[in-house]
Amino acid sequence: QVQLVESGGGLVQTGGSLRLSCTASGRTGSVYTMGWFRQTPGKERKFVASITFGGGDTNYAESVRGRFAISRDNSKNTVDLQMNSLKPEDTGVYYCAATIPPIDGPYTVAPAYEYWGRGTQVTVSS
């Protein structure tokens, strides 16, 4: 079993920054690609960013490219999402996700991911 726990969400003004963190526990050797998705009430969960196990291949949604940066530290079993220049449209619950071996690539679709955290709320006020 793998558990993912997100942290770092909060309320910020437009143009502000937040850094989200996700910590994996349990059978962490089974965690390969890690990614971030976000969702607002009544809306579909959308891809935000992903990073492969070695960190050499990342992918971003067009709406966040240039503003967000994903990184990971396998020694700590963590993946972070640095969010800058935040906009009201970035508001939502942010979920951390992970694939299982041997699946490892810059995936953008939810079905590629096996494990999910419970989410952390990000609210950007206008």
Cα–Cα dist 76/57, whole Å: 19
Confidence of residue 19 (pLDDT cuts 50, 70, 90): very high
Instruction: Give the span between the Cα atoms of 46 and 25, in whole angstroms.
Output: 24
Share of the chain above pLDDT 90, in %: 85
Q: What does the alpha-carbon distance between residue 64 and residue 85 come to, in Å, rounded to a whole number?
A: 9
Alpha-carbon span 2 to 96, nearest angstrom: 12
- Please compute the mean of the pLDDT values over residues 31-60 and round it to a whole number: 93
- 93, 39 contact by CB (below 8 A): yes
**33 has pLDDT over 80:** yes
| pLDDT number for residue 87 | 97
